[in-house]
Structure formats: C-alpha cells, structure tokens
C-alpha cells in the first residue's frame, strides 16, 4: 500500500479532513521543529512557533494549491512564523531592554565529560550561532541545507535566484565556521 502524498493529504485537509491534517503533522513535526529550532535558537520558543506554524497551516489549508509541492508551502509558513517571532523579540528587547536569551544549561560532570555531552554542547553552540546569523544568510541555509529543499525551491520561497541562494549559503557557512572555529560538514 502506497502512502498518500503530502499534496493529497493537504487537499483533503483543506476540505476540513482533520485526520488528513493529523497525518501531515505526524509526518513533518520533527523536521519542521528542527528547522524552527535552528532559526529561533531556544527550545521552548521553538515549540511555540511550531504550534503556531501548524495552526496557520490548518487555517490556510483551504487555500493550498494541490498542484504545487507541499513541503515548500509548509516551510514558507514556518519561515514566516519564525520571522514573526524574531520581530516580536526585537520589539521586546527594544522596549524592555531585555538581554538576549541565555545559552541553554548543559549538565556535565567536570571530571569526565562524555562524548554525548560534548556533542550536545557543540550542537547547542551551533544552534545559537545559526540563530544569531542575519536572516539574509540564515533563511537559505536552513531551507536548503537543513530542511533539504533544493536551491530552486529555496529561491522560490525567498523570491530570489538559485545562484543567490548558493552564495548566501556559502557565506553563512563561512560565518559559522568563523564563530565555531572549525570547518562545517558539506551539505
């Protein structure tokens, strides 16, 4: 039995089929959370933005064009929710003069740090570094390199060219390498 395509599920969801939308959520919540987490940089806020994204997708599902690929449509909603969150945070910092979110605490035995703890710390540093990138670089990096969209799909979402996406990703990776002090894996 072949599973129903995301596009077919989205069309059904647009007609009010809650089970179809639940299947979309089940299929995409982990990958979409990773995308949002890397954009936002904070665990709890990322869950909130993920929920906002799926709520917005449910509300907009009636406008989804089933002849178009589903994943870029969903990523665009997620990206817009990330941008909204970033704008709200900027306003809060400006008005409240609050300092930026503090790095996550990682429990560690100072005498015998495990490989898992070091890897978690490295990933937390990378997430924080990605979150600090300007949106101009962060967005194409997350859409193409993290979410697996093609440069063409990323360019369509960002309303630019595939070559511009390629250059922004290259520059984003160089900035991250400088922050992290190491070469990043290709991809």
Dist CA 32 CA 75 (whole Å): 8
* pLDDT tens figures, 106-144: 444 444 456 667 777 777 787 788 888 888 998 998 888
- The model's pTM is 0.63
* pLDDT tens figures, 86-96: 877 766 655 44
| 88 shares a domain with 169 | no
Give me 155's structure tokens: 């360019």
Which of 41, 68, 100 represents a domain boundary (last residue)? 100
Report if residue 106 sits inside a domain: no
Give me 109's structure tokens: 């035995």
Dist CA 52 CA 78 (whole Å): 8
| 119 shares a domain with 92 | no
| 90 shares a domain with 6 | yes
Dist CA 187 CA 184 (whole Å): 9
- Domain of residue 84, CATH code: 1.10.1740.10
* Residue-range definition of the domain harbouring residue 92: 1-100
Report if residue 110 sits inside a domain: no
Dist CA 11 CA 20 (whole Å): 9
Pure H helices in 105-144: 115-132, 135-140
Number of domains in the chain: 2
- Position of tokens 């993920």? 50
């Amino acid at each position: 039995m072949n599973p129903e395509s995301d596009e077919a599920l989205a069309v059904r969801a647009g007609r009010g089929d809650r089970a179809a939308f639940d299947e979309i959520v089940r299929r995409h919540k982990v990958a979409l959370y990773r995308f949002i987490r890397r954009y936002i940089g904070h665990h709890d806020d990322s869950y909130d933005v993920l929920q906002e994204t799926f709520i917005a997708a449910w509300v907009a599902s009636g406008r989804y064009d089933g002849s178009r690929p589903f994943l870029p449509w969903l990523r665009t909603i997620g990206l817009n929710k990330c941008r909204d969150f970033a704008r709200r945070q900027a306003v809060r910092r400006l008005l409240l003069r609050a300092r930026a979110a503090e790095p996550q605490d990682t429990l560690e035995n100072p005498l015998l740090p495990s490989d898992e703890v070091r890897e978690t710390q490295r990933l937390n540093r990378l997430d924080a570094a990605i979150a600090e990138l300007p949106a101009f670089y962060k967005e194409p990096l997350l859409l193409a390199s993290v979410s697996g969209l093609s440069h063409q799909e990323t360019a369509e979402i960002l309303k630019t060219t595939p070559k511009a996406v390629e250059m922004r990703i290259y520059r984003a990776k160089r900035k991250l390498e400088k922050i992290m002090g190491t070469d990043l894996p290709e991809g």
